[in-house]
Structure 1
Amino acid sequence: MSPARIVAFEVLEAVEMDDAYANLLLPVRIGRAALSDVDARLATELTYGTLRMRGFYDRVIEIAANRPTSKIDPRVLDALRLGAHQLLSTRIPTHAAVNESVELVRRYATRSAIGFANGVLRAISRRSTDEWRDDVSAEARTDDERLAELSSHPEWVIRAFRGALERDGLGDTLDELLEADNVAPVVNLIALPGVGLGEPDDYGTPNRYSPLGFTRDGEGALELDVHGGRIRVQDEGSQLAALALSRARPVVAGERWLDLCAGPGGKAVLLAAEALASGAVLDANEVIPVRADLVRSALSAVSTGIPVSVVDGRAIGDERPGYYDRILLDAPCTGLGALRRRPEARWRKSPRDVAELTRLQGELLDSAVAALRPGGILAYVTCSPHTAETHGVVKGALSRWGDTLTPLDVPTVLDGLTRHPLDLPAGPHAQLWPHRDGTDAMFIALLEKH
């Protein structure tokens, strides 16, 4: 029994049954199993590849099994998904893909399911990927259903993406975005400023946009996530979101900054480095204690004296009215802008979640405005392009606060700090895209208080 497949299967099961996050659990399971580098790469490919294309594989399984996936035992289904990925998206020999997947059923499910799994996988193996795509396409009832099944995205996400792209004048690039979501992103790193590390090109290939980011080819891509956390993995879009706040205008020494929803700490540590270099003071807040510990750990790369409070961010406006000069609100969101990194998120969220999240986002934004001093700047950021979570939330805040808030032109701010122009649509807000900008789909709004 392949140890890489055991690890991949157990991670998929935990993601499905326990709402685990693959990006957090997989490294732990790889280390616990003491996988070789080759097996670790295989486990990673099997896990993320299966999660990304789960929707398509499920439809193939339903056709091959002649029954809906809801009628298949969850453990058998996870083994079938792993097998389908190997058969349709890798060069793994057919016999190995089928036999190893059947062995997973033998090990983790009931013996009565072995024959069923073997039959389904052999049926899948008899047709090419293109033939299965034709079959799935032919059985779809609507164009959106066809696109959703072939691209492995829920239909409601397809519609949300289409609306957001059309708003940016990119309506004809939906297929490119969906394809980008299903490709593993290049590992991107950041060299924190002002902590004696030198320039990004000292360590790898500088990012096209972020002045602090870089990539590194080959086996050394993750080796530099060290230096006491001063070099760390961080998406280029996340870097730009934090820098849009810290570099929106020159910093006056003594400014007070706040990262309102700081967990797990990636943007907080960048703001901390920027604050240290410019004479500002940073506070951080995170409502979940475990995530607050992650923030403290991240911030220790810059300083051990940065306070991290653990309170509901919706209360900070009342507790510290008019106190801060700059506030980052990286709001809890659906995470639809980072599906290439966290592919399971697409299967966990629903339109109902959007309604609940936008209410929370609006309440956090009101609290942040209350905590901002007159003349201060607030960055509202989401890792989601859903227009309800982005433009909708900001529009609501502008309506509630009237002349108190003025949007700043984010594309102009970004062009003033990036290595190369982003060529974004006219502001005031900015929406980044994986297929156009090579970043997560970060939304950035900057609001000045009067």
Structure 2
Amino acid sequence: MPEPRRRPGGDRPGGTGQRRGPRRRSAQTPAQRARQADPARAVAYRVLLQVDTEEAFANLVLPGALRSAGLKGRDAAFATELTYGSLRLQGLYDAVVGVAASRPAAEIDSPVRTVLRLGVHQLLGMRVPGHAAVSATVALARQEVGQGAAGFVNAVLRRVSEQDREAWVAQVVAPVGDPTTRLALEHSHPEWVVRALRAGLVSSRGPDPAQEELASLLAAHNTPGPLTLVARPGLGAEQELEDAGATPSPAAPTAWVLPQGDPGALAAVREGRAAVQDAGSQLLTLALASAPLDGPDERWLDLCAGPGGKAGLLAALAAGAGASLRANEVSEHRAELVRHTLVGPVHGGARVDVTVGDGREVGAAQPQTYDRVLVDAPCTGLGALRRRPEARWRRSPQDLTTLGPLQRALLDSALRATRPGGLVAYATCSPHLAETELVVRDVLKRHPGVEPLDVRPLLRDRSGTPLTDLGPGPWAQLWPHLHGTDGMFVALLALPGRSLG
């Protein structure tokens, strides 16, 4: 029987398309080799291929893929770990593949590279026996890519299986001299991201954060965050969450942790009385709503409300304070997401108006109108890498050239839309200095009467105790490795009791 055709460059380690001596045969007999991929691995492969080739987001694609395949319980959990683990550690795994295949992973076709990442994660990042990981991944390659790819995958993964993760890490980082570059490779982050995170730590934690702390932060990005829910105040979701097995989170007064299960199956979530929301996001929203305010407290604004998590909590808090909320979003699609998440609070008595418009124009259209304003600005998302691992591979320093002017324009608009004596909270899910305090400092130069307030005492855990390790102030930076939340930044700005002019 003729040997299967291979692409130019070959599907063997080395990629020349020519044999390098006797063919290395599988340690398994033909009867032992799996012929068809199991559904969990097939789902993970197809999701990762969409992420790699179509710039899809795993958190949006995976739930539907699991439902379509009928995966639940342990199978769904296995597919989820395969997907997110392979994404998080993609940089390290590509380096390992480069050594095992004797050519850079970037030169391997995307479908084959995706299969290899899944196989390496099973071998180095999960408790899957080596023979099972190789056999099942080869079957996946055979089913999804072809017989030639299956032989290549078998050869590469057998070589990977000869060492454990620690040995592979030592091998791939050994030639690297710069400590930061070594950390970037070992913890699977682009080097520019690691340097940006280090700069954020310097600003928040001191002039020379230890490499150990930077390593702890990077490791936190590679550890799945808890499934955190918000019980929107005044809507009676707490008992239902407890009955469903959720436990109160110590991180925030409104936060609950669901150890397992589908939150969408809970009536409180479907009805908008509770929602999936990181504790850090809850903390900054609570801080804006609880800050002391002189004068009327009747009109609140969420300037960039999509997809609606913070708007949902703000709406419940506004209802309790007797205030109304305008939730503004520039995208009609995202505005529809806001409307969906606000269904519960609206029924709970909040007066909410969801609008579609450019937030940069609100200040000119409605000057000195609102009492409390939230600017949850679009950003790189470098503070949420544990939840959105593909962001580290998609973002680049060039993104800041677009985001920076937008962030400044939105904050400027928010200040102009706020009445004299009102409050503005500027927030990002990023610790990058170019998106946090540098934005605030630049905008404050244009509004010399605006005073930055110390927001740190307003960030309190469930017991009411102010959080620590938030930086020197007056703004605050949350960290995954210190607070167990996403890396949220928040600054609270008070307008003078006069017109901005």
Query: TM-score scaled by structure 1?
Result: 0.95
Structure 1 contact 383–443 (Cα < 8 Å) conserved: yes
Note the C-alpha offset of 1:321: 1.2
The 1-side partners of 2:89 and 2:295 are apart by 49
- Equivalent residue, structure 1, for 2:25: none
Aligned letter for 1:68? Answer: P
CA gap 1:97/1:415 in 2 versus in 1, 3 angstroms: closer
Letter in 2 for 1:83: G
**Which of 269, 277, 281 matches 1:238?**
281
Q: Which residues of 2 match residues 320-339 of structure 1 at below 5 A?
A: 320-339=366-385
CA distance in 1, matches of 2:296, 2:190: 48
CA–CA distance in 2 between the matches of 1:103 and 1:202?
Answer: 43
1:317 to 345, 363, 368: 363
Deviation at 1:100, TM superposition (A): 2.1
Matches within 5 A, 1:153-192: 153-169=189-205, 171-172=209-210, 173-192=213-232
Change (3 A) 1:179 1:428: same
In the other structure, the counterpart of 1:297 is 340
The answer for the alignment partner of 2:127 in structure 1 is 91
Where in structure 1 are there 5+ consecutive unaligned residues? none
Q: Which residue of 1 aligns with 2:235?
A: 195
Residues 111 and 220 from structure 1, CA distance in 2 versus in 1: closer, same or farther, beyond 3 angstroms?
Answer: closer
Matched residue, 1:213: 255
Deviation at 1:121, TM superposition (A): 0.9
User: How far did residue 196 of structure 1 move?
Assistant: 3.1
**Compared with structure 1, are the counterparts of its residues 16 and 218 closer, same or farther at alpha carbon in structure 2 (3 Å cutoff)?**
closer
Q: Is the 8 A contact 1:200 1:206 kept in 2?
A: no
Deviation track 1:385-409 (CA, whole Å, cap 9, x = no partner) reads: 0011001100111112122x11011
Question: CA 1:8–1:35 in structure 2 vs 1: closer, same or farther (change >3 Å)?
Answer: same
Spell out the pairing of 1:136-147 with structure 2 (5 A cutoff): 136-147=172-183
Measure how far apart 1:309 and its partner are. 1.1
Matched, 1:374 2:374: no
CA RMSD of aligned residues (A): 2.0
For residue 36 of structure 1, report the CA deviation from its aligned partner: 3.1
- Residue 199 of structure 1 and its aligned partner are, at CA, apart by 7.0
Q: Does the CA contact (< 8 Å) of 1:209 and 1:420 recur in 2? A: no
- Is residue 407 of structure 2 the alignment partner of residue 365 of structure 1? no
Deviation at 1:206, TM superposition (A): 2.1
| Distance in structure 2 (CA, Å) of the matches to 1:202 and 1:251 | 37
Give 3-state SS (helix, strand or coil) of 1:322's partner: coil
Letter in 2 for 1:40: A
Q: Name the amino acid aligned to 1:280.
A: A
The structure 1 segments of at least 4 consecutive aligned residues displaced by more than 6 Å after TM superposition are: none
1:121-160 mapped onto 2 (5 Å cutoff): 121-160=157-196
Question: How many residues end up aligned between the 2 structures?
Answer: 449
- TM-score, structure 2 length as denominator? 0.86
Q: Distance in 1 between matches of 2:339 and 2:184?
A: 40
Report the 3-state secondary structure (helix = DSSP H, G, I; strand = E; otherwise coil) of the residue aligned with 1:377. Answer: strand
Return the letter of the residue paired with 1:10: R
Question: Whole-Å Cα distance in 2 between the matches of residues 250 and 212 of structure 1?
Answer: 22
Aligned counterpart, 1:286: 329
**Which one has the largest radius of gyration?**
2
Secondary structure at the aligned position of 1:440 is classed as: coil
Matched, 1:7 2:52: no
Q: Helix, strand or coil for the counterpart of 1:407? A: strand
Deviations 1:93-145 (A, max 9, x none): 22221122222222332443332221111110111111101101213243222
2: distance between equivalents of 1:38 and 1:128? 25
Q: Which piece of structure 1 moves more, 51-60 or 195-204?
A: 195-204
Q: Give 2:465's match in structure 1, choosing from 420, 423, 429.
A: 420
Worse-superposed segment, 257-266 or 212-221: 212-221
**3-state SS, counterpart of residue 435 of structure 2:** coil
Task: Give a deviation string over 1:146-199, Cα, whole Å, max 9, x none.
Answer: 111100010001101111111122622111101111101111111111123357
Identity %: 50
For 1:439, what is the secondary structure of its paired residue?
A: coil
Unpaired segments ≥5 residues, structure 2: 1-36, 497-501
Counterpart of 1:260? 303
User: Structure 2 vs 1, CA of residues 199 and 395 (structure 1 numbering), >3 Å: closer, same or farther?
Assistant: farther
In structure 2, the residue matched to 1:435 is 481
User: What CA deviation, in whole Å up to 9, does each residue of 1:245-293 have, x standing for no partner?
Assistant: 1111268766111111111100001000000111111001111111111
Q: Classify the secondary structure of the residue corresponding to 2:434.
A: coil
Contact 2:283 2:460 in 1 (8 A): no
The residue identity in structure 1 corresponding to 2:96 is V
**Could you tell me whether the CA contact under 8 Å between 1:65 and 1:120 is conserved in 2?**
yes
1:115 partnered with 2:148: no
Q: What's the offset of the Cα at 1:381?
A: 0.3
Equivalent position SS for 1:326: strand
Larger proportion of helix = 1
| Alignment CA distance shift 1:315-1:250 (3 Å) | closer
- Give the CA deviation at 1:223: 5.2
Asked if 2 retains the 8 angstrom alpha-carbon contact of 1:284 and 1:306, the reply is yes
Distance, in Å, in 2 between the alignment partners of 1:191 and 1:276 is 14
Distance 1:199 1:211, change over 3 A: farther
Question: Does structure 1 conserve the Cα–Cα contact (< 8 Å) formed by 2:306 and 2:335?
Answer: yes
Classify the secondary structure of the residue corresponding to 1:214: strand
172-181 or 377-386, which deviates more: 172-181
Cα distance change on mapping 1:137 and 1:254 into 2, 3 Å: closer
Match of 1:82 among 109, 118, 121: 118
Quote the residue 1:62 is aligned against: 98
Supply the distance in 2 between the matched residues of 1:200 and 1:278 (Cα, whole angstroms): 24
Give runs of aligned pairs for residues 40-55 of structure 1, distance below 5 A: 40-55=76-91
Counterpart position of 1:345? 391
The alpha-carbon distance between structure 1 residues 233 and 416, as it changes in their structure 2 partners (threshold 3 A), is closer
